[in-house]
Structure 1
Amino acid sequence: MPRPSPPSADASRPALFQRQQQRRLQQILWALVSVFGLLIVMNLFTGRFRSAGLEGLIVSLLALAMHWNVREQAARAVALTVATLMLGLCVLMINNQGLYDEAPLAFPALLLFTGLFGFRRMFWVLMCSMLAVVALLFFLHRADVFHSAPVVPLDWRRPFVISLIVLVTGLFAWLLTSDLGRTMLQLETEKRALEESHARIEVLAQRDSLTGLPNRALARDRLAHLLRQARRSGRMVAVMFLDLDNFKTINDSLGHAAGDDLLCQVAAKLRACVRETDTVARVSGDEFQILLGDLQDEDAIVAVVAKVTHLLGRAFVLDGIEVLVTASLGIAVAPRDGAEGDVLLKNADMAMYQAKDSGRNTFCFFDASMNESVVEHLHIASGLRAALSQGELQLHYQPQFDLRSGRILGAEALLRWKHPELGMIPPGKFIPVAERSGLINEVGAWVLQQACREAQAWRGQGLGALNVAVNVSPLQFRRDDIEREVAKALAASGLSADALELELTESLLVADARNIGDVLQRLSAQGVRISIDDFGTGYSNLGYLRRFAVHRLKIDQSFVRRMRANAHDEGLVRAIIEMAHCLDLQTVAEGVEDVETLDRLHAFGCEIGQGFHWSPALPAEAFVAFVRERQVEVG
């Protein structure tokens, strides 16, 4: 394998290597100046004034080389040094004994110096010059120019031997200096690559790779710094948690590339909302932190929130599509809400979830009562796990009636939790906890299996072919195994698929229409009935329902209860019923509490009703007794 060539004269050398050469050259020049200075003194004492003058000239030229070296003109300094030394050696040999003089002994050292500090061209020019000088001196000896030469006659062998020494020494010097230069260059290159690698690692350790914003670790360090400053200045520090409300929908519908583009655009807008001394960090998928320091009052915080809300309120363009994005913000302020970073981060996170619970697209300052809610949340979540295994959960059933015949058609299954210490816990309290903690999937599966099992038991008890309606959480429906859970519950109970009705919220259909539509179509093909619960609260277009395999609409009870007192609500109920009939859908009225409301619903053409006018939700045994009694009355 051929040896790699050493750096050429025009090659750029690493800065560190150049600085090291510059220092070493300066040291050598000082040594040469000192040596020639001593020679000058010695020659002056011995009366050799011409030699002293020559050496003074050499010292002057070396001093000029030192000046160039200090001015970072190392190449010129090396060239001048080599030329000066070579000229001085030649003059010494000519003035003295030629090839019999000691001066040629310095040739190898000069070659080594040139190899270390010079370049390829300079090295070979110097070696050729030395060989030429040796040849010239040989001919001068033959011409008897040197009268001080020794008696021994000079033949061709002496210059030949000197030339061989110069060549061999030059070869050694060349190989050594080439290897040394190559090694130094390689070491400097590796050092630079290592420094760049460390810099990249530091960036990756402290920066978000997508947006370039500080990550969670760097944000924590900056928060600690802001808090130390605040303790000295007496000012406030604000920690904001910002979470995009509908990021998952955008990510799922437009793709991850569009989602990444959105995150980068949001990051740029957030940076534009704060000062350079403040920090915007990305701490998770669609969650950002904003750290504000040196604040006099909360007005400055509200001003930033207003700016953030305003900028995020503008449409984002993703793949040519304008997309509106909202965000929920939670804010904790030091020292009021805590003096430590971890405490502030936890409190800001709680405030953000409170903003989401308040309807999203809003902001919320931390309040001490939120801590109590979190403790209660943890207590309920822990108890709910035990309730699943210890049989504390129950299903109550509210009868559903045919408004024309008064016959019971079935019941809606409603979940109840009888806690051994706290008594009956209302669903509105533990269902949200189950959804947040992920327990809703286990709870929902249990409800589905229990409802199917008890509906099949009604048939065995002679109650007839009663249907059962089960509420399904949006989180359950977004899982891939909802169809498997339904099939499992039907198979385990033996219940016919057409006796099961799944109730979905209107908002679920609007939020995830494409995926939900396919699932509903498959469930409907199996015979399972689908109804839309609390219809009217989402104000969606009824024509939109043509895309879904839906059988019934349940009119929200808030409209039904206000029918008698509010003409607008009565008109809305009547419009929903008429439009549902145009789509061949049945309607179920919730919250029927008196005869007058019942009569109006019947007049509007509503088919099914449920409410306190007939019965509240009843435990399983009480429901069976109620159905038997009602069947006797109707019979």
Structure 2
Amino acid sequence: METDSGKSLDTSRQRIFGVPVVAVIGLPLLALLIVLFLGFSLILQTQRTDLTKTYADRTAEFLARDIANQLGHLVTPLEEYADAFASRVKAAGCSNAECVFSFIEADRATPERVPIQVSVLRFGASNGHLLSVFKIKETDRDFKGQGKTQSDNPSRLLVTRPDRPMQERDFNLFERGWYRGGIVGRTPTWSAPYVVNNTSDLCASTQGSVWTMTRVLPIFGPDRKPLGVLALDMCVNRISAFLSSATGNTVQEISVFTPSGEELSVSGGQFTIGRDTSKISADLGNAVSLDKFDLKGWRVVVTLGDELSAKADWDWYYTAVCLIGLAISIALTAWAASFVVNPLMRLSRAVTDVGNLNLDTPISVPTNIREVGLLASVIERMRLVLQRNQTRLEFLAYHDPASGFLNQAGLVKEYDLLVGKEGQIDLILIKICNYHQIASIFGDEVLARMISSKIDKLQATLAGGVVGCLNNNLIAYIYPSDEGVDIPLMRKMLAEMRLPYENEGIRISPVIACSVAQKQGQIEPFGSLLRRANGAMYHAEDTKSEDAVWHNSALIQDLRAALDFGGDITRAIGRGEFSVRYRPVVDLRTGRICEAHTSVIWHHPEFGDIKSHKFIPIFEQNGSILHLGLFIMSRAFEFLHNFKKYYPDNKLLIGIKLSFPQLMDPLFIERIRELQAEWGVNASEVNFIISQNIAMLDDQQIFRVMRRLRDIGFRLIVDQFAMSHSTVNGAMALQYDGMMIGSEAYRNIDQPGPERVILSAVCELAGKLDMERIAVGIDTHAIIEPLVKCGCNFGRGPWFGHSGSEQEFLSRYDENAAMFSNEPAH
């Protein structure tokens, strides 16, 4: 009873003295809360305005990127057709203008081969002649018009079209801007839009001006000399129609800026082209480049409509409602003011965190005040949405969206976290060299699955690192360790990576190249490490190395400058800087050594021993290969002479690689005959190896030298790569005695599969042409029997011995000969 009476008394007192308490305590508190609320509202409104601007800018950029892709698709058919046209001319071996003209006439007869965007197709030859076919109307499919110079007078141009009589006019091809640009540039280019003055309605626009663009690319003959310039015109009306269709309420204006100052603009459904050179180098905000579509320097800018670009307005109604509700709530519950302060403080911190994008801590504001709880829940939902968006944006910033693996930005972030720790950091690059072939045959999805499978094998073999994909064929692995990556473990990993990928009936043999760069110093950035790894990767691909290639700054960066000199290579030969090495070739069916292939090493006084693949290409360019090649042949003939003294009853062939500059030497045959007479060498004991594209045999000088070598009695060996990349005439021009087959042709044949079928087909072709089959790069005994079953007669590689000096080769020959005789070799 006392309790009940006490409660009644307190209630009555509260009713009596409640108003003064509210007036003294509640009103100042209300004023303070109103001020705070307005401050919070201002912060939220400011953040809302900033977010609106940010999203508007991003939306404009995304739309510009999409429009740029669509513009790229408009011009891509012309680029692909032009490149295909040049490839067809190259494949046909055209060496004059009439040959190129015939391709234009053929495409004119079959206009469905030519993209609909092409309005004019013309070729200007280096001798001044021109053949041009053009449409009468932009919507035509056929090229009814033709312009062609007279066959005996390139200064007279005959223009014919079905609706007008033939016209004859003066003409000078060399004064045409598109022709001069193609000859000088030597790379495919697009011209800026320009006005063409003609009397036809081709490319006609509603404004009365005729605007067009030209795709220009040079055409080269087999000797790499320019035959002339191919030019394809495209009416700008197609771009105008596309840009006009892309504008509306959402997109207010689209502007395309060219590197020469033209602005293609669509605003309010009106397409205009103006020129303002001040915008050539101006910063255009969120402009999107069209460089990847070969439109160098072109930029697209999108201006959004008011509905997307307008700033967020201040919502006074919502603010007023909140203030009234807050005032009434505080007036009626002044006694609970202490319970309001703490939730509002927490809410203030939460709003600040949300405004500063500190979104990790959930918003928890326990309160019985509905408005405060509602506001807290709204801000919590905002926090969750922003957190999801932030997480997604961070994921996209550091990961490839298709595969989910780290991209280069993500690798940089992980590298920065590791760089301060003790120990060594290695960047391992693994490249799928035949990715283009895999993607074209099986598709990008199969390629992505195969790369994911290979990454799993990489992480299983080299655990503890960070993996990412730099593109669709290059895997990057940041590997921290105490003393650097272990070489035997690397070889094991590469062996696992090279195993065929099998899934859903698909069996793919990837061609893998690998390079490694080690962190130098404590503050080396990731970009520097990646550049050195890419440099090593270049050499890994160039040498087709089975092992990983470590970056060597002295060899990779300074070697070319040291080699690319104009000095006398004969002095280096005289100083004994070059030595010829011999590698054994064995009969795969018996294991007997039957041939020695030569190579050369340069004992450079500054860089040490340099293998031939590093300097031979340079010597071929500067002419030093003539002296070095003569030195190699002299040493090889001397070696064969000495061998016959040691083994008068045994026969050994010697293999010498030739380059085309040697075959172009008019004294080449005479020098070989002199060496042959000096050392008493039988021509049938010498195999000359041709390892480059034998389509070069179209050169009559080379053809005569090769035929002369055959007439003398020397044997000619061609490698499988050269044969596969040659023309039929080049391959059949001479009867070759043998074919060298590289390891990429017989990889994984130790297991039954399509690789064996392909190799058997290659060997069967060589057998029908009466050619020996020599497999190179054999590094394991397991593939010898499959090679013999597929038809390979002979082989060489690390399994049979590396290149060595003359004495080292003879010692190995002694050991090999002892296996086939009970008597010592000599």
In the superposition, the TM-score normalised over structure 1's length comes to 0.44
Return the structure number with greater helix share. Answer: 1
Structure with higher Rg: it is 1
| TM-score when normalising by structure 2 | 0.34
Choose between structure 1 and 2 for higher RCO, CA contacts under 8 A separated by at least 6 residues.
Answer: 1
